[in-house]
Amino acid sequence: MLWSYEFLDLTKAEKGLRRQSIDRYAAIAHWSAFAPIPIYLIFRLVQKVVRKRLRRSSSGNGGDYQQVPGSPLAKAKQMTASGELGTKWRQFKWWMGGDVYFLGEHRGQRDLWILGTLYLAWLLALCIIGTGKDYLHLTKRFGTIAVSQMPVQYILSLKSTNIFAYVFRSSHEEVNRYHRVLGRLIYGLLFLHLAFYNYFFIAKDILEQKYSEIIVLAGLAASLGFHLLMATALPIVRAFSYRIFFITHLSVSMAVPFLLFVHAPSARFYLVESLLVFFIDLAVRKHTTVRSQSKVESIAGTNLFTIKSPIPAAKLEKFKSRPGSHIYLNIPRGSSPSSLFDMMYNPFTVAAVEADTNEITLVARKMNGPLTTHLASLPSVQQGQSGEASVKLDIEAPRGAAGKNFSDLLSPQIQRILLIAGGVGSSFIVPIYKAIIQDNPSAHVQFVWAIRTAGEATWPVSISKPGEKSILDDDRVQLFLTSDLSVGGDPEGDGEGVELRTLPQRDQRRSRLASSSSERRRPNLQKIVDDTFKHGHGEKVAVLVCGPSQMAREVRERVTPWVMSGRDVWWHDESFGWIITVKPERPPGLLDEVPDDSVPGGGAGEIVDVVVVTVREFCIRRPSRTDTPLCGGLELRSRYRLPYYASRNLRHHTCKNMAQAGQAPTDDDIHYKPWKYIGYHGYSKFLSSDDDILIFRRFGTSHARVLLSLQDQVSALEQALSQLDEVYSRKESTDIDNGSLRKDLPERRKILQDLSHALIRYDQLLTLHATIRRYPIAPLRDVEGIRTWHRNYGNGDMTPVRCLIDRSHWLRTLPIWRDLSRTARSPGAEEVLYFSDARVDRFASLLILLTGLAMLLTPIWILHALEASSSKLIVISIFSFSFLVIMSVTMIAKPFEALGATAA
């Protein structure tokens, strides 16, 4: 049989042995989660001993010297077995940190998936081993082992007393990635535990009886808490309101241990441990939190503002020794307009530490969140006015992995440092840059800073000390303006601004910045990274990025080829935008060589299959020997559906612009003539609305082909001209004045004229092609994003059943879909047939509904006719699997959505 577990009647002694087995395997699962800590500490100890012995050995041979990167000795060391092993290990770690994409969406890093899968296999093995045929043993094992992981889950979420972050010299933000993975594993085990027990209650016909017992109701309430927690953890919910996720997360984490304390007495040790580490961390955070009367000051011409907070001198040293750290900010009760702020702790990077005044400076941008909105709405800060406002703030101790590992950047092993910041991410990079320059003035450092407006580059000047050299005057700092060059331009695009002459005197450097044409562009990250790594083959390079997550991913893509070629890279990513994806700030990309059928617009130069229309219809022209097939004035390929790529916003803005110019078209006008009222101008406006979708092809092969053809034409004309010169210069030929252009013969003059035109065409195309080649190649993720968008707005919104109908010409042209009200509506269009998309959609929806209804009702009648529990279990398993397959195949649903529907 496929299922060997049975409902066994055990004696009291056997139940005691079963309980011992469950507790033993739960303890193994619990302590195995802490195994990485001693393993890593032993590894560090062995590594330290080996390095110490090597240092003694080298000092005994005449002293310990640092090898020069790229020297023969350094290259010879890299070629040894240990050197190659180290290179392979670095490449493996880099590969493990790579991003994973599924269905066009970012799904975390590769190490999370691999380690999470291995740990899931380990937990499943502990859940199954030694259970025999006892069904309840298996069921209880799943629940207890899941609860045994809760203390580790709580520890991974801590900010102050996180032992994993301390041992691995990491931060709460990096360790929190594994907290999310382990949470999903715990939820999966508890879900199976719940399903197994419910099946047992149903099979024994004791469901109503058990659901009236306190111990079962407590477990059921805890399971509802876990369901609620996982539901609010979905990206769509967090994007809608992060506060809902956070408050739910905190409330459920507090309530679940008490519910499970009643439900599972044998697992109370793990529940007490979970609550203990939680409250210890809460007490430590409360003790280390500083309440400060802070000053909030706006930065004129931008939506940025600075926060200056006094810090006790005893705690200021931590901030000074950890540049690039961040703090958690909270508005305490009494200073906040609502009690909702009591549970809100937002991270902000420490931009500067003033030892003279015992102050730290934070730089923040006004976003849509309540905390920055409240701070930006304080008096003298509203609408970018100059001035200060005072408010009480709670500041937690400095955190972040960059501050802990800052000493690595000063190590002689790192010969070159590349710092990249995007927007307000400079508040993380600037203090690190200043600390490096202060501690190691001869360091090879390059700082690349992309900003929206010139005003955003003035905050380092405002917090600099008197007489200190401005960072804007540093040759090692490159500033790039990525949007409107008007200094007063609002980054949010509201059209309001501040003129240069109204800015404070300290911000006059913005005038010089805005007038520099070399900086009126977005950074070419490919060229910047390549130039950094080309300086020395054996140099170790440190790359630090802080900006939008898309920028960090693009920089990582550019660094990856160098790591895979053997370079040693110290990498740190401090990207922000945890919930909302921020688009990368860079110029329009160019597709390299991509097949014509995979690029929007195809290769014909006309957007035939990517037409902006608002009428969802399919039209096919009957075979005709006359004109080119037309449908609504748009060329179509026979047997293909006209995609739907228009959105309401596009249609709204198009109609709005027409209404301003004259009479606005009606919906019927747009319905019948989309090619007139929207067309290419609407589609072009949509493409230009976002840099991520403004991508064009290079046509590299075609350029090379045409250049070779022009080159051949020039060569042929040169050869003809050379032959004429030779003929006219012969002794036996007629005396011709070859030194006069005015007396030149018509034949040679004609060749020179043709050669002039050919050279002009050749030089122009060659120059333009060289200019195009300097543009960065569009990242593959952006190309895939465009393809995904077209699929979603073309046929991605259709169910697979609908797609199956559309792929079949016979099914798609059945008379039942025909729209007789629109057929032959105008003279000369008698051969054009119209088919209603709405009818096809209704038919596909009805077919899916009937199939799902059959899958739900059929197993009920079958189970009613069966008596054996094993047969019922087989039927449930078969229909559950079939339902999952049908949901995945016929519906547009993500895997977890299909799984959730099947479970329901």
pLDDT in tens, 259-292: 999 999 999 999 999 999 999 988 888 888 888 8
Residue 898 above 70 pLDDT?
no
What pLDDT score does 583 carry? Answer: 33
Q: What is the pLDDT of residues 633-656, one digit of tens each?
A: 333 222 223 333 333 344 444 444
* Paired strand residues for 362: 307, 350
For residue 342, which of 247, 417, 259, 261 has the smallest C-alpha distance? 247
What's the rounded mean pLDDT across residues 511-537? 69
What was the pLDDT predicted at 893?
Answer: 53
* Average pLDDT of span 118-136: 93
- In sequence order, the 6+-apart residues with CB closer than 8 A to the CB of 296 are 305, 306, 307, 375, 378, 381, 388, 389, 390, 391
The predicted pLDDT at position 711 comes to: 92
Beta strands in 264-317 (DSSP E): 290-298, 304-310
Alpha-helical runs (H) found in 347-404:
370-376, 401-404
**Residue 50's pLDDT band (cuts 50, 70, 90):** confident
Most confident of 446-455, 490-499, 860-869: 446-455
> Do 545 and 447 touch, CB atoms closer than 8 A?
no
Q: How is 221-278 classified by DSSP, letter by letter?
A: HHHHHHHHHHHHTSHHHHHH-HHHHHHHHHHHHHHHHHHHHHH-GGGHHHHHHHHHHH
Tell me which DSSP letter residue 795 carries: I
Task: Determine the pLDDT at residue 726.
Answer: 81
Residue 530: Cβ within 10 Å count: 14
Q: Are 225 and 259 in contact (CB under 8 A)?
A: yes
Give tens-digit pLDDT for 383-403: 445 556 788 888 887 887 777
The pLDDT-based confidence of 812 (bands split at 50, 70, 90) is: low
From the number of C-beta atoms within 10 Å of its C-beta (0-12, 13-18, 19+), residue 32 rates as middle
Is the backbone of residue 858 left (phi > 0), alpha (psi -120 to 50) or beta?
alpha
Write out pLDDT tens, residues 542-568: 999 988 888 888 899 999 999 988 888
Q: Which of 12-21, 361-370, 794-803, 859-868 has the highest mean pLDDT?
A: 12-21
- Residue of 590 and 811 predicted with greater confidence: 811
What is residue 1's predicted lDDT score, i.e. its pLDDT?
Answer: 39
pTM as predicted: 0.61
Place of tokens 């900003």: 451
Residue 418 is predicted with a pLDDT of 92
Pick 846 or 821 by higher pLDDT: 846
Q: Give per-residue pLDDT as tens, 139-193.
A: 999 999 999 999 999 999 988 888 998 888 888 888 888 999 999 999 999 999 9
Higher pLDDT, 750 or 371: 750
pLDDT of the residue at 71: 54
User: In whole angstroms, what is the distance from residue 70 CA to residue 536 CA?
Assistant: 7
Q: Which residues contact 870 (CB under 8 A, 6 or more apart)?
A: 1, 3
pLDDT given for residue 518 in this prediction: 40
**For position 38, what pLDDT does the model report?**
93
Give CA angle at 795 (789, 801), nearest 5°: 140
Please report the pLDDT score of residue 735 as a whole number: 73
Q: What pLDDT was estimated at residue 498?
A: 28
- Nearest-5° Cα angle at 313, 312 to 316: 90
Phi, psi of 808 (to 5 degrees): -95, 120
User: pLDDT for 199-255, tens place per residue?
Assistant: 999 988 898 888 889 999 999 999 999 999 998 888 788 877 777 888 888 889 999
Q: What are phi and psi of 744, to 5 degrees?
A: -65, 150
- Is the pLDDT confidence value at 37 over 90? yes
At CB < 8 A and 24+ separation, what contacts does 328-332 make?
328/159, 328/395, 328/396, 328/399, 329/362, 329/371, 329/393, 329/394, 329/395, 329/396, 330/289, 330/393, 330/394, 330/396, 331/371, 331/374, 331/391, 331/392, 331/393, 331/394, 332/291, 332/392, 332/393, 332/394
The residue assigned the tokens 């991520």 is 692
- Which of 224-228, 286-290, 446-450, 832-836 has the weakest average pLDDT? 832-836
Token reading at 217: 């109701």
Q: What's the confidence (pLDDT) of residue 609?
A: 29
**DSSP class per residue in 614-656:** S--EEEEEPP-SSSPPEETTEE--TT--------HHHHHHHHH
What's the mean per-residue pLDDT of the chain? 74
Residue with tokens 């690029």: 599
How far apart CA 798 and CA 2 sit, in angstroms, is 37
Give CA separation, 356 vs 313, 323, 359, 403, 464, in Å. 10, 17, 8, 21, 13
